[in-house]
Structure 1
Amino acid sequence: MSQPPLKPEELTVPVPGGDLAVLRWPADRPDAPTVVAVHGITANGLAWYEVARRLAGRVTLLAPDLRGRSASSTVTGPYGLARHADDVATLISALGTGPVVVVGHSMGAWVTALTAVRHPELVRRVLLVDGAVSFPLPEGVREEDALAAVLGPALARLSMTFPDRAAYREFWQRHPAFDGDWADGIDAYTQRDLVGTEPELRSSCVLEAVRTDGAQVLLDQEAATAVHRLPCPGELLWAERGLLNEPQGLYDQQRIGLAGLDQRRVPASPVPDTNHYSILWGEAGADRIVRGLLADAPAAG
Structure 2
Amino acid sequence: MSQSPQQPEQLTVPVPGGELAVLRWPATVPGTPTVVAVHGITANGLAWFEVARRLAGRATLLAPDLRGRGASRALGGPYGLTRHADDVAALITTLGLGPTVVVGHSMGAWITALTAVRHPGLVSRVVLVDGAITFPLPEGLREEDVLAAVLGPALARLSMTFPDRAAYRAFWRQHPAFNADWSDDIDAYTQRDLIGTEPELRSSCVLEAVQTDGAQVLLDEDAATAVHRLPCPGELLWAERGLLDEPQALYDDKRIATAGLDRARVVAELVPDTNHYSILWGPAGAEAVVRRLLGSGPAAG
| Shorter-chain TM band | over 0.9
| CA–CA distance in structure 1, aligned partners of residues 237 and 267 of structure 2 | 9
Give the match's secondary structure for 2:236: strand
Q: Residue type of the partner of 1:131? A: G
* CA positional deviation for 1:154: 3.4
Count of aligned pairs between the two proteins: 295
| CA–CA distance in structure 1, aligned partners of residues 143 and 127 of structure 2 | 29
* CA positional deviation for 1:144: 4.5
For 1:29-178, list aligned pairs within 5 A: 29-151=29-151, 153-178=153-178
Number of the residue aligned with 2:182 = 182
Q: Is residue 5–residue 50 contact of structure 2 (8 Å, CA) maintained in 1?
A: no
Number of the residue aligned with 1:25 = 25
| CA–CA distance in structure 2, aligned partners of residues 158 and 259 of structure 1 | 31
Superposed CA deviations along residues 26-79 of structure 1, whole A, max 9, x for unmatched, are: 011221111000000000000000000000000010000000001000001000
| CA–CA distance in structure 1, aligned partners of residues 19 and 177 of structure 2 | 32
Q: Is residue 17–residue 76 contact of structure 1 (8 Å, CA) maintained in 2?
A: yes
* CA positional deviation for 1:148: 4.0
Superposed CA deviations along residues 119-141 of structure 1, whole A, max 9, x for unmatched, are: 00000000000000001112343
Number of the residue aligned with 2:295 = 295
Number of the residue aligned with 2:286 = 286
Superposed CA deviations along residues 167-194 of structure 1, whole A, max 9, x for unmatched, are: 1111111110024321111011001000
Q: 1:138 to 1:5 in 2, by over 3 A?
A: closer
Query: What RMSD in Å do the two structures reach over aligned CA positions?
Result: 1.6
Q: Which runs of 4+ in 1 moved over 6 A?
A: none
Task: Give the percent of matched residue pairs that are identical in Structure 1 and Structure 2.
Answer: 80
| CA–CA distance in structure 2, aligned partners of residues 283 and 143 of structure 1 | 33
Structure 1, 271-280 or 162-171: larger mean CA deviation: 162-171
Q: Residue type of the partner of 1:242? A: G
| CA–CA distance in structure 2, aligned partners of residues 99 and 212 of structure 1 | 29
Q: TM-score, normalised by structure 2?
A: 0.95
Q: 1:71 to 1:142 in 2, by over 3 A?
A: closer
Q: Residue type of the partner of 1:65? A: D
| CA–CA distance in structure 1, aligned partners of residues 96 and 49 of structure 2 | 19
* CA positional deviation for 1:18: 1.1
Q: 1:190 to 1:148 in 2, by over 3 A?
A: closer
For 1:188-199, list aligned pairs within 5 A: 188-199=188-199
* CA positional deviation for 1:296: 6.4
| CA–CA distance in structure 1, aligned partners of residues 94 and 177 of structure 2 | 36
Q: Is residue 42–residue 155 contact of structure 2 (8 Å, CA) maintained in 1?
A: no
Structure 1: unaligned runs, 5 residues or longer = none
Q: TM-score, normalised by structure 1?
A: 0.95
